[in-house]
Amino acid sequence: MNPTLAAPLAPFADALPVPRRLVAARQDGQLTVPIRAGAHRFHRDLPESAIWGYDGTVPGPTIEAERGQPVVVQWRNQLDGTLPVVVTTAPEAADTSGVPVQCVPGLSGGTPDQNAAALAGHAVVHLHGGLTPASYDGWAENLVAPGQDAVFGYPMGQRAALLWYHDHVMGVTRFGVYAGLAGLWIIRDQRERELGLPEGPPFEVPLLIQDRNFGLDEDGRLTGQLVHKTDPEVMEAFPPFTVVNGKVWPLLQVQPATYRLRVLNGCNARTYRLVLLRDGAPELHRITQIGTDHGLLRTPARVPPDGLVLASAERADLLVDFSGLEPGSELTLVNTAAAPFDGAPFPAASAQGAADPGRMLPYPHVMRFRVVPGPATRQTIPRELATDYRPPEPDVLAGAPRRTIALVERELNGQPNMLTMRELVTVGDYHTGPAVTVTDGEQTTRYRAVAAHFEDATTFFPVLGRYEVWQLINLTSDTHPIHIHLDPFQVLSRRPIRYEIPEHGIEDRAITATVTLERDPGDELGHTIDDNERGLKDTVRVNPGEIAEIAVRFTTYAGRYMYHCHILEHEDRDMMRPFVTMPAELMPFMA
Ligand SMILES: [Cu+2]
């Protein structure tokens, strides 16, 4: 196979755009955001693309709010026309020269999906990371048709953090977000101001990272047409072009100063492992991570030695030191993560050579920074950041309810395998049917599946204010970023497992597997919790061959919420389930 592909677009040609800021306090907390069709140019040398966007832009405006100051948004669905994305499944996974078809533009012989082409703009907005009442959380089935409005109240009773808002329509979230329906939402608070962190331009820069693909005309030239392409072997779309704030491989001119980069992976499916290169060599020491999904860490963290891993929906708050660099110095942010991502390591020192179409990573570039003349300023990084949370006490967790979820891969006739999940409950020795047996040292627990599909009866009823431990068992060969709506959680452990699934072990509901808490001899993953994951998270990567445990405590709002894999192609095909938070005093009345 040809190890590299020539890029059909010039990298670092466009300046990094910064989305328009919509500061809620300047409008008394009352915002109106139209959801509109529009046109957007993803690259200097591309024609305009038809998109759907909040306020008609890609990304949407960045909404900025203050902790404790509620924001009301009137979401006005003014979409007209149909989905501006051609959706297709190519007939073959690779072209005649062996290059995966997802690494190249165009439809690769696929025919446009007529059902997707008929989508006419039903929308629903979810604020990811928001501590939001259930009625405003964007339940995937509560749709707003074109011509209708939704007025959602966001109390903002939560810590400063980078959140994002995006479309969440049942079964087609992957198309709405891909069409452009995503924007950032920043909450600010006093603690961040005490620390003197950069706020606003020029030194605070949000980076919304996505991947996109485009069509080809009859002469083989790129059109701006957005293309969502999958193949017979891979159900997720892994487009070849990385787009930051709406531009393919942009360039940001920086002063020799400390910048605060607020990074979000807003891809449908691709995980990034970011490495900062200068003259081909990694310079990760320039990066200090101060925050994660739900805001500040307790102490600053170094980026892991292989690079900063962000799966879909994960965020990182970074201080990057460009001081001491000569004007004209260039640093390039690259991605070393293969797709689909399985957690496999890749040394940062080899990042320069990460391009590999066979790993569905034809172009590792993400963006470039170029240092311009200016006064050199370096931010002193405080040693203590957040002071408002600690890990839950072991005795609290010892008595906490435990919930168990298996992530499974189901084989389907004539279709790619379906990645989905099963909610499990323990069964006694009397149980004779299919079961998942988990052996942890001396202790063996048997489970049966009680829910497989989104529409199956709800089985999770967490009580407000009480910690719970959720155990996620990954029986697939991919990493899944599992996202829980409402409150954040803390990652307790990742433990390696060995497992066996008999033939036809994963049926619709019946599931049979034998799981042992010990490392498989062929397993090369660390199964560690990185320092930058020891914060308040709302999305956790569950790697192949591991059980991840998290401690979650829901607060404040009772109601019906969702948890799901944030690979949108998985979420849309049932890797999503409801849960209902309840006040304690109502529990005796639950039948
Ligand atoms: Cu998944």
DSSP 265-291: E--SS--EEEEEEETTEE-GGGEEEEE
Q: List b or e across 227-263, with b for residues whose CB sees 16 or more CB atoms inside 10 angstroms.
A: bbbbbeebbbbbbbbbbbbbbbbbbbebbbbbbbbbb
**Cα(259) to centroid(ligand 1), Å:** 33
**Cα(166) to centroid(ligand 1), Å:** 18
Contact (Cβ atoms closer than 8 angstroms) between residue 508 and residue 411: no
Q: 10 Å Cβ neighbour count for 56?
A: 18
Amino acid (one-letter) located at 195: L
The 10s digit of each residue's pLDDT in 208-251 is: 999 999 999 999 999 999 999 999 999 999 999 999 999 999 99
Q: What is the mean pLDDT of the chain?
A: 96
User: Using CA atoms, how far apart are residues 368 and 12, in angstroms rounded to an integer?
Assistant: 6
pLDDT of residue 331: 98
> Which H/E stretch holds residue 566?
none
**Cα(224) to centroid(ligand 1), Å:** 29
**Three-state DSSP state, 464:** coil
**Cα(240) to centroid(ligand 1), Å:** 20
| Mean pLDDT value across residues 1-18 | 87
The 10s digit of each residue's pLDDT in 262-310 is: 999 999 999 999 999 999 999 999 999 999 999 999 999 999 999 999 9
pLDDT band at 1 (very low <50, low <70, confident <90, very high): very low
**Cα(474) to centroid(ligand 1), Å:** 10
**Cα(148) to centroid(ligand 1), Å:** 32
Half-sphere exposure of 427 (CA within 13 A, CB side): 17
**Cα(257) to centroid(ligand 1), Å:** 38
Whether residue 3 has pLDDT greater than 70 = no
The 10s digit of each residue's pLDDT in 442-471 is: 999 999 999 999 999 999 999 999 999 999
Contact (Cβ atoms closer than 8 angstroms) between residue 77 and residue 253: no
Q: Which of 198, 323, 332, 339 is nearest to 265 (CA)?
A: 339
User: Using CA atoms, how far apart are residues 523 and 496, in angstroms rounded to an integer?
Assistant: 8
- For the record, the structure tokens of 129 come out as 């990371």
pLDDT of residue 78: 98
* Rg over CA atoms, the chain: 23
pLDDT of residue 414: 78
Amino acid (one-letter) located at 468: E
Burial class (CB in 10 A: 0-12, 13-18, 19+), 129: buried
**Cα(564) to centroid(ligand 1), Å:** 8
User: Is the peptide bond prior to 583 cis by the omega test (within 30 degrees of 0)?
Assistant: no
Whether residue 2 has pLDDT greater than 60 = no
User: Using CA atoms, how far apart are residues 320 and 44, in angstroms rounded to an integer?
Assistant: 27
Q: Where are the alpha helices (DSSP H) in 121-189?
A: 173-178
**Cα(368) to centroid(ligand 1), Å:** 30
Name which of 164-178, 328-342, 408-422 the model is least confident about: 408-422
Q: Which of 66, 70, 63, 75 is nearest to 29 (CA)?
A: 70
Burial class (CB in 10 A: 0-12, 13-18, 19+), 370: middle
Contact (Cβ atoms closer than 8 angstroms) between residue 562 and residue 443: no
pLDDT of residue 274: 98
Q: 10 Å Cβ neighbour count for 200?
A: 14
Whether residue 153 has pLDDT greater than 70 = yes
**Three-state DSSP state, 348:** helix
**Cα(484) to centroid(ligand 1), Å:** 13
**Cα(171) to centroid(ligand 1), Å:** 14
Contact (Cβ atoms closer than 8 angstroms) between residue 197 and residue 290: yes
Q: Which of 524, 545, 102, 523 is nearest to 347 (CA)?
A: 524
Give the end-to-end CA distance of the chain in Å, rounded to a whole number: 61
User: Using CA atoms, how far apart are residues 179 and 57, in angstroms rounded to an integer?
Assistant: 11
CA 31 to chain CA mean position, Å: 26
- For the record, the structure tokens of 154 come out as 């966001």
Q: Percent of the chain having pLDDT more than 70? A: 99
**Cα(214) to centroid(ligand 1), Å:** 24
Residue matched to tokens 């199964």: 527
**Cα(185) to centroid(ligand 1), Å:** 24
